[in-house]
Homo-oligomer: A and B are copies of this chain.
Amino acid sequence: MEKPVLKALAGKSKKSPVWMMRQAGRHLPEYRELRKEYSFLQLLQAPKAAAEASLQPLRRYDLDAVIVFSDILVPLQALGMDLDFRPGPYIANPLRNLAEFRALPPADFQTAAGSLMEALQILRRELTDTPKTLLGFAGAPYTLATYAIEGKSSKHFEFVKGWLYQDPSGFREILDKLADLTIEYLLLQVEAGAEAVQLFDTWAGELSLETYRESILPSTAKIFEALKKKEIPTLLYANGASHLIEAQIESGADAISVDWRRDISFYLDKIPTTIGIQGNLDPSLLFAAPEKIIQETTKILQATKGRGNHILNLGHGLHPTTPIEGVQAFVDTAKNFEPAN
């Protein structure tokens, strides 16, 4: 069966498919119900419930992709790091020097990600004979490093950036090792059923273009190179990263997921037609009235039509308080759009 998202990632799409970052999760009342039974960590370890959370948005919206319910920090658990959510990620034993990093045990994905792999297998079975693409994902090495080093979401990233500025070669060693870990992790996800994967470099936008290109990009590019060899379609996303676009197009990703801080026309100019574009409605726009959502979504669809490799998405994850009607208006606009007009 033809799968619109895979077609777009191959550059052969006639009409933009649609899905949303964080489409599974808190904005859905049925997810909040599920969370009464499972803490976030428990949900990650319960394959059936995680698969259920991944499928919930499909029952409301006609989306073209299902992204498995998981968390970008699972690989740090596989390295023996003590991950908790309070409710943001919290690591009790962050790494503050290279020796600590080198002393980490080999990754144990069987324990840390066995449930995720099982959830992917369930999802792949559930999606048989549907045109829905099953997506896996991982955090990019720099973003993993920020959590491994800061221990939590940071406002200023003083430890991680202090380290990066102070000891670039040690920092590169860390990123390179995290890249290998991520390759292993994503290949496992593909083996379990993921048909394409997205790399989230959540905090890369905090860096300058020059620092990103010199110190971060090589580790990201290493991942995409390994996946390309296996013909696995790939996407790269970073929030607040319009200033990094010139480096992101050198990453080797099949498509770049872009935020809303620049108009789609800016990205259409910057990104070569051989690379796909995903995005880029401001998720806060879904709090406006349906007419406004339809208008702004249509603008993006008009601007990207004919490109063959656009995937409609938000410029950032769906906000937890987003009204269902706003999401519906967004998805319906994609579905009702006629590229011929």
Contacts and interface: CB of A to CB of B under 8 A. Distances in A.
A157 B157 CA distance: 22
A218 interface: no
A39 interface: no
Interface of A: 156-159, 161-162, 165-166, 205-210, 240, 242-243, 260-263, 266, 282-285, 287-289, 292, 296, 319, 321-322
Contacts of A322: 158
Nearest 9 Cβ contacts at the A-B interface:
A162-B287, A161-B284, A165-B288, A166-B288, A156-B319, A242-B243, A158-B287, A243-B261, A210-B263
Contacts of A289: 166
A289 B165 CA distance: 9
A284 to B, nearest CB: 4
Contacts of A156: 283-284, 319, 321
Contacts of A288: 162, 165-166
B262 A166 contact: no
B261 A161 contact: no
B208 A260 contact: yes
Given A158-B319, A162-B287, 20 more contacts: A159-B287, A161-B284, A161-B287, A162-B284, A162-B288, A165-B282, A165-B296, A166-B287, A166-B288, A166-B292, A205-B240, A206-B261, A208-B260, A208-B261, A208-B263, A208-B282, A209-B261, A209-B263, A210-B263, A242-B242
